[in-house]
Structure 1
Amino acid sequence: MLQSLGPLPAQAHRSLVVPLAMDRTLTAAMYSEDHLPEFTPMPWTYQDIRAAMPSHLFQRDTARSLLFLARDLLMAALAWKVATFIDPYFLSPASPATPTSFGVELLRWCAWATYWWFQGLIFTGLWVIGHECGHRAFSPDAKLCDAVGFVLHSFVWFPYFSAKIIHHRHHMGNGSMEKSELWVPKTRSELGIPNKPRHEIDWDDYFGDTPIYSLLLIIRHQLFAFPAYIMFNMSGQKRYPKWSNHLNPNSIFFMTKEQRHLVMVSNLGLLLMGQIIRLAIKQWGWISVLKYYGIPWLAVTHWITMFTFIQHTDPVLPHYRDKAWNFQRGAACTVDRDFLGWQGRFFLHNVAHDHVVHHFFPKIPFYNAPEATRYLKAFIGDHYVYSDDPVFKTLWDTFNNCQFVEDEGSVLFYRDKQGRARRRAALSTRSP
């Protein structure tokens, strides 16, 4: 149970709720950037913000973390056990209808879909606990964190030590065009869009996709974006050499001999998991392995891709260049989302509901994050961004409205398929 909040800091402000109001029925002729809301970067130092956070929020309780881990493992085992009754029940001769009955088949696949939904969330929650371990938010004991994180991430085919090293750099450079490691915006010139007035550009030449095609791109994005990031650095920092990835110990990401050895340990974990799956297929068949493990694993890649994408991508989030960026400004370049409501809080351990405070203070354990978010929101005010829009609608809107940023400027905002922005940098923050 969370501790009582107590008195909040005096600097209580209204938080920014996204997306910012813009009538989507506006015609091109009515659009004017002079009318967009202005944005000025936050003025506080990191020490100012840290001083507003009570010290008890940073306390890590190993026993409490282990109880959450035990709960998730028990849920996964229980869901797996219940799933073993699905086919015998519906395909049994004692079933109320024949096995070919449409109604029985429909109910059978609904039962499997229910298992895949919840087991996918449970597996993703285990990944989140592994992510906590990578930040040492699980326990003050570094060896325990690494042992738990290694096993949990290997279970869902995620290279723990490699990701831990690179994810640390993601936190250290979030929101920076030069330093960010993940979901780095494409620029106008990278897409070959001429630097001309909006009305002189035929935007359909660049973004004239049909809704069906856009949907297919989203499905591809959701199924393959995260594995592609791990293996090929897709959506990562563009200044890295081609074929930089999480699996090659000689990649530019890994600077020391110790880090390169840890990459090989991560790869060993993936190989061991692959061997376990191979033996499971030999014992029970690939269809059973697909139903019990494979589809929930696909759900994990979907959920991780989805919440990381919409946490870090939104038309109202700034992206900084050069000296306009600092750590605390970059930490605020994220959105807290009401991700699946209570299911997101319960199964995913607040990973999307309280992501902003996680970027400021990654060692705060997830069970303290809701209270920490309230303090952070009270202090930074309008620089805290929250959205309670339905997340699948948000995924569609974000995928279509966040296309590119400009080649010039110190504070940048995404533009949509018509070259329109939702926000603009204040004049005082623009490059001369």
Structure 2
Amino acid sequence: MPFQSEAKQAYSEDNLPEFTPMPWSLSDIRAAIPAHLHVRKTWKGLLYLARDLVLAAFAWQIALYIDPTFRSSYITHNLTPHIAEVLRWGAWLVYWWFQGLIFTGIWVIGHECGHGAFSASKRVCDVVGYITHTLLWTPYFSWQISHHRHHSNHASMERDEVYVPKTRSDLGIPNENEVEFDYEDYFGDTPIYTLLMLIRQQLLAFPAYLFFNVSGQKNYPKWTNHFDPKSVLFTRRQRDAVILSNIGIASMVWAVTEATRMWGASEVIKYYGIPWLLVTHWFIMITYLHHTDIELPHYRNGQWNFQRGAAATVDRNFLGWQGRFFLHDVAHFHVIHHFFPMMPFYNGAEATQHLKAFIGDHYRYSDKPAFRALWETYTNCQFVEDEGDILFYRDRKGQARVRPANQFRVQSSGSSLALRNSF
């Protein structure tokens, strides 16, 4: 084809690394993890929560001195007003960075509660989770319900709740073996435009998912959201919990409105609003990178099972020591969390070593810098094929990095290779 480059012509899926789905049962994997690592200690979870709250209060207290200090006559006289203003905004940036991480750690505690991993007591989990998530604008019970469904169906094209890949037909891309076209016509955006779309994802994806099911299961009705008790997301028995979640969010609307009236919008935004916005950024960045990678499989039909879906995640060295300390290891040890969601986060590191030893190459880890990984993942992971039961993302040139092993491949009606259920 004259429109294809030599590099494209040289590309052959036969030369890609092969993937064979994981053969073990969940009970096999559970047996490889020491039982004591599943034990939840309420006192330990409460100590981590207390630590986060103390850190948040400490950062807040320090921030109270930023404006008075850098606007004082002593500082402006000795450093000049211009330098003092630069330092003032620099101090605010430092506050926002660390307070955003601290707030995200508190959100993670709520997430642990939603899974029942914080305490063996459901009441303790629900009280702590409801308070922490409500304070950070997350409808606790509503999101808990859909998030549980995500864990139960992760990497299933038909049933997963979030980060469901778009298919070739979803994007209107023709079969390259049947129609001559250039992928540049579909993915030829400028880097600036791509960056703006990535920023939009990072800041708005979670509210958009809660309100409009963006990035969720495409088979749901158009107006599916987490605030409608009659939504397809919930059963009749869950409606009261959804209403209770809505009451929590409504109370936050009232509280922030009152705070704005008393102290002014700019103060509320500086001390609370921007750190909260960073929570949505970190949360989306963490979960997106956990569940999206060009080498991670997705499944259709009979090839999917719970443990294969759990293994279709990747652990990442997310912000180094800051990610481990402030985010409670959830970014570093997420794969084990998908296998055993009720395992407490503070046992994730040790449990991961046992998991890795048992499943071998089916365990995935990346030490790529987080922001570099975010950019490369966002630009590379574009779509999956409409055919096949084991799928891998394709990039902006329509190329994959991994292919299913030969026993999972059959020749389609065209010249391209499709996949089949070999079981």
1:77-88 superposed matches below 5 A:
77-88=57-68
- The answer for the alignment partner of 2:415 in structure 1 is none
Q: Does residue 1:325 correspond to 2:326, yes or no?
A: no
For residue 209 of structure 1, the aligned residue among 171, 182, 189 is 189
1:58-77 superposed matches below 5 A:
58-77=38-57
Task: Measure the CA separation in 1 of the matches of 2:399 and 2:125.
Answer: 45
Q: Say if 1:92 and 1:99, in contact at 8 Å, map to a contact too.
A: no
Render the CA deviation track for 1:35-59: whole Å, top value 9, x for unaligned: 1000000000111001111000001
- The answer for the alignment partner of 1:310 in structure 2 is 289
Q: Say if 1:99 and 1:105, in contact at 8 Å, map to a contact too.
A: no
Q: Say if 2:110 and 2:128, in contact at 8 Å, map to a contact too.
A: yes
Gaps (5+ residues) in structure 2? 410-418
- The answer for the alignment partner of 1:19 in structure 2 is none
Q: Give, in angstroms, the shift of residue 351 of structure 1.
A: 1.1
Task: Measure the CA separation in 1 of the matches of 2:78 and 2:214.
Answer: 48
- The answer for the alignment partner of 1:20 in structure 2 is none
- The answer for the alignment partner of 1:397 in structure 2 is 376
- The answer for the alignment partner of 1:140 in structure 2 is 120
- The answer for the alignment partner of 1:256 in structure 2 is 236
Q: Give, in angstroms, the shift of residue 199 of structure 1.
A: 9.5
Q: Give, in angstroms, the shift of residue 205 of structure 1.
A: 1.2
Q: Give, in angstroms, the shift of residue 206 of structure 1.
A: 0.6
- The answer for the alignment partner of 1:233 in structure 2 is 213
Q: Does residue 1:374 correspond to 2:366, yes or no?
A: no
Amino acid at match of 1:232: F
For residue 52 of structure 1, the aligned residue among 24, 29, 32 is 32
Render the CA deviation track for 1:198-235: whole Å, top value 9, x for unaligned: 99321111111000000010011111011100111100
Amino acid at match of 2:38: F
Q: Does residue 1:40 correspond to 2:35, yes or no?
A: no
Amino acid at match of 1:220: R
Task: Measure the CA separation in 2 of the matches of 1:116 and 1:327.
Answer: 38
Render the CA deviation track for 1:326-367: whole Å, top value 9, x for unaligned: 000000010101000111110000111000000000111010
Task: Measure the CA separation in 2 of the matches of 1:321 and 1:108.
Answer: 53
2:90 match: secondary structure: helix
Q: Give, in angstroms, the shift of residue 98 of structure 1.
A: 7.3
- The answer for the alignment partner of 1:268 in structure 2 is 247
Q: Give, in angstroms, the shift of residue 101 of structure 1.
A: 2.2
Task: Measure the CA separation in 1 of the matches of 2:26 and 2:101.
Answer: 34
Cα distance change of structure 1 residues 28 and 272 upon mapping to structure 2, 3 Å threshold = same
Task: Measure the CA separation in 1 of the matches of 2:173 and 2:76.
Answer: 62
1:10-29 superposed matches below 5 A:
27-29=7-9
2:73 match: secondary structure: coil
Q: Say if 1:154 and 1:269, in contact at 8 Å, map to a contact too.
A: yes
- The answer for the alignment partner of 2:414 in structure 1 is none
Quick check: 99-108 or 177-186, which moved more? 99-108
Render the CA deviation track for 1:373-425: whole Å, top value 9, x for unaligned: 00001100000000000010111000000000000001000000110100001
- The answer for the alignment partner of 1:125 in structure 2 is 105
For residue 361 of structure 1, the aligned residue among 336, 340, 344 is 340
Q: Say if 2:291 and 2:312, in contact at 8 Å, map to a contact too.
A: yes
Render the CA deviation track for 1:145-192: whole Å, top value 9, x for unaligned: 000000000011000000111111000000100111110000000101
Gaps (5+ residues) in structure 1? 1-24
Q: Does residue 1:182 correspond to 2:135, yes or no?
A: no
Q: Does residue 1:411 correspond to 2:419, yes or no?
A: no
Q: Say if 1:122 and 1:347, in contact at 8 Å, map to a contact too.
A: yes
Q: Say if 1:404 and 1:414, in contact at 8 Å, map to a contact too.
A: yes
Alignment length (residue pairs)? 407
Render the CA deviation track for 1:38-88: whole Å, top value 9, x for unaligned: 000000011100111100000111111100000000000000000000000
Amino acid at match of 2:73: P
- The answer for the alignment partner of 1:341 in structure 2 is 320
Amino acid at match of 2:308: R
Q: Does residue 1:158 correspond to 2:128, yes or no?
A: no
2:10 match: secondary structure: coil
Q: Say if 1:90 and 1:99, in contact at 8 Å, map to a contact too.
A: no
1:319 match: secondary structure: strand
Q: Say if 2:300 and 2:390, in contact at 8 Å, map to a contact too.
A: yes
Cα distance change of structure 1 residues 155 and 182 upon mapping to structure 2, 3 Å threshold = same
For residue 149 of structure 1, the aligned residue among 122, 129, 133 is 129
Q: Say if 1:91 and 1:99, in contact at 8 Å, map to a contact too.
A: no
TM-score (ref. length: structure 2)? 0.94
Render the CA deviation track for 1:69-123: whole Å, top value 9, x for unaligned: 0000000000000000000000011225379722111111010000000000000
Q: Say if 2:230 and 2:236, in contact at 8 Å, map to a contact too.
A: no
- The answer for the alignment partner of 1:384 in structure 2 is 363
Task: Measure the CA separation in 2 of the matches of 1:201 and 1:374.
Answer: 47
Quick check: 275-284 or 197-206, which moved more? 197-206
Task: Measure the CA separation in 2 of the matches of 1:97 and 1:119.
Answer: 30
Task: Measure the CA separation in 1 of the matches of 2:78 and 2:384.
Answer: 58
Task: Measure the CA separation in 1 of the matches of 2:150 and 2:83.
Answer: 49
Q: Does residue 1:221 correspond to 2:201, yes or no?
A: yes
Task: Measure the CA separation in 2 of the matches of 1:246 and 1:26.
Answer: 48
RCO greater where, 1 or 2, for CA within 8 Å and sep 6 or more? 1
Aligned residues: percent identity? 61
Q: Does residue 1:244 correspond to 2:244, yes or no?
A: no
Q: Give, in angstroms, the shift of residue 27 of structure 1.
A: 2.4
